[in-house]
Amino acid sequence: MLGSTKSFLAAIFVILLQLFPLTGVFLMIFLAMTWSIILVNLGFILLIKEVWEGRAPRWASAFPMLWFGGYMIAAIYSHYEASRLVEQVDTENASQRFAFDAERMDAVFLRGEDYQVRELVRDYDLPRAFISYERPHGVLETHANWMEDHSCPPTGRWDSRRPDPWSNTSQSFTSVYAHSTDPSSPRRTIPGLCLYSGKREPTRRIMQIEVARQVETKGIVNTETQTLSITSPDGSRGELHSLRVKPLRWLPMPIAGCGLVSSVSKWECVFDFLRKKTIDSEDYNRPPMLVIARALGLNERQF
């Protein structure tokens, strides 16, 4: 039996074993879903070698040509389509601008995640923002404070250096971002920037922001989108869209297998190509808070 045939059969055998939870759980521990990257590509490389050595018919060389050549064409188109989608979203979002005054208005998120609100306050020149929860949680405010000596007051303690001390509230406030230095983490620490969260009602005119649930689509380009609705104090409303695109990698990396999805307690199978990591890429990523900041005319904090 030819080496290429053995490699392809091994890939099929591993995939079949993953269809059954009893054997699939064991293989999942060893990342068997990614074994097809090596086995399939190795099979086509061995097939080229076997044709060259005369151990396989010449017409068999068409298969690796279709595999590698066809994939390269698909990857080129995938990157082109990814760039087109980002440009389209940028153009649509650019038409939505809101007259936001951080000194006279409060940004209030009616839907969204608290980490997104903290991210907006942390990265942009917005002194405070709110997120509204269903009772009994009420409204939670995230407040930013810059300390020149890079020291933050302990939780629940305030001093005269704070520009807007909350002396009229008995609620306790918690300091966040105290345990990560990863630049891509929403909980990363910025020396000198103190962020506090606690219950407090907005006191200014309200700019309402709603962040819809994330929608994922799969195809030649995988996308993650969210609709962002902003309502001004005068009632005018506009919609923006966040976007993250994941084009194909330049080399074929097929992933095939099954695994346990803990969020829904379901055994699911995946047959796809590994995508380019784009979470930190400005070329392929328009995160929700960046889109909102641009629409509100906020500037990035300079440290």
Task: Report yes or no on whether pTM surpasses 0.75.
Answer: yes
Contact 7, 63 (CB under 8 A): no
| pLDDT tens series, the chain, 303 aa | 788 899 999 999 999 999 988 888 888 888 889 999 999 999 999 999 999 988 999 999 999 999 999 999 999 999 999 999 999 999 999 988 888 988 899 899 887 677 788 888 888 888 888 888 764 445 666 666 555 444 555 544 444 344 443 333 333 333 333 334 444 544 455 666 677 777 778 888 999 999 888 898 989 999 999 999 999 998 889 999 999 999 999 999 999 988 887 766 788 888 999 898 766 677 888 999 999 999 999 998 776
What digits encode the pLDDT tens for the residues 175-185? Answer: 333 334 444 54
Measured distance between the N- and C-terminal CA atoms of the chain, rounded to whole angstroms: 64
Where exactly are the structural domains of the chain? 96-236+284-303
In 3D, which of 45, 48, 186 has the Cα closest to residue 122? Answer: 186
What digits encode the pLDDT tens for the residues 11-38? Answer: 999 999 999 888 888 888 888 899 999 9
